[in-house]
Amino acid sequence: MSNNDPSTEDVLPSRLNKHAKHKHRFNWKKWLPILVVILLVGGGVWWHETRPSPLKDFPVRGVSVDQDDGYVDFHQLQSSGIKFVYLKSTSGASYLDDDFIQNYERAAGTTMQVGVYEEFSFTSSAEQQYKYMVGQIGQQSGSLPIAIQITYYGNYADNPPNAEKQGKKLAKLINLLDARYGQGCIVWTSPTIQKQMVSPYVHYTKLWTSLNKLKHQNSMVKFIQYTGDEKVKIGGKKTDLTVSVFNGSKKEWKEEVN
């Protein structure tokens, strides 16, 4: 066959052109799912970073600190706008938080309002818990109401203790602490435990409730622990400190602490 055969000259370029077109054509079907994922992830990050803070309606914010939080720079907390801090003191009738004394001394050197809290025990009596706490903290009780934290620790999550027995014991502990320190008490717990163990037996003590979606509560609630995903920042960096807010305005807070 002649090299100048027109049929050969026409067919080869035609095939090459078709191959080139197929080679450079963008495969939308292949890349579309990946692009969708990228857009969804990017949009989610943008929304998370630009959404209004759930804390925006609560101008007075605080944190609670225990030994598991390690070293905390309380002056940086103050500079970050934190107005109050609660420090864990004792648990039941036999445990003192390892960092309580140091934390108290350093927190007291700031302008933040300082409070202390004890973890309520279902196995120790009111008198035992009271005597142990007083023996450990002495006059280091802070300026805020003493908080009593109640959680269903250990196996109690699956087998809650007798609500009436514990509720009456709680009321007795509150009376003992209030008579000793004269600064009032506050019960820090979940809405479930509050309904079962606190409200039926403790009628005038203020509450500190836990919510993952912040909204203003009735006047019996003084503080709200925020259990959502917003983190408090210290020196511009996010931390895992437990965040709580005052259930009121700046004006009401000033009236509260003055």
209: left (phi over 0), alpha (psi -120 to 50) or beta: beta
Could you give the 3-state DSSP secondary structure of residue 210? Answer: strand
Cβ-based neighbour number of residue 192 at 10 Å:
11
Cβ-based neighbour number of residue 88 at 10 Å:
24
pTM confidence score: 0.80
For the chain, the average pLDDT equals 88
Question: For residue 245, which of 109, 56, 107 has the smallest C-alpha distance?
Answer: 56
pLDDT tens, position by position, 72-130: 999 999 999 999 999 999 999 999 999 999 999 999 999 999 999 999 999 999 999 99
CA distance 234 to 231: 10
Q: Please name the residue that has the structure tokens 């909204």.
A: 215
142: left (phi over 0), alpha (psi -120 to 50) or beta: left
With residue 62 as reference, give the H or E element that holds it. strand 61-65
- Boundaries of every domain in the chain: 6-50, 61-257
pLDDT tens, position by position, 128-170: 999 999 999 999 999 999 999 999 999 999 999 999 999 999 9
Task: Confirm if 203 and 167 have CB atoms less than 8 A apart.
Answer: no
pLDDT tens, position by position, 224-235: 999 988 787 787
pLDDT tens, position by position, 35-71: 777 777 665 555 445 455 778 899 999 999 999 999 9
Cβ-based neighbour number of residue 152 at 10 Å:
18
- What is the reported pLDDT for 140? 98
DSSP designation for 165: H
Please give, one letter per residue, the 3-state secondary structure of 78-127.
HHCCCCEEEEEEEECCCEECCCHHHHHHHHCCCCCEEEEEEECCCCCCHH
Question: Token pair of 24, please?
Answer: 């450079």
Task: Confirm if 134 and 149 have CB atoms less than 8 A apart.
Answer: no
Q: Which top CATH class is 61-257?
A: alpha beta
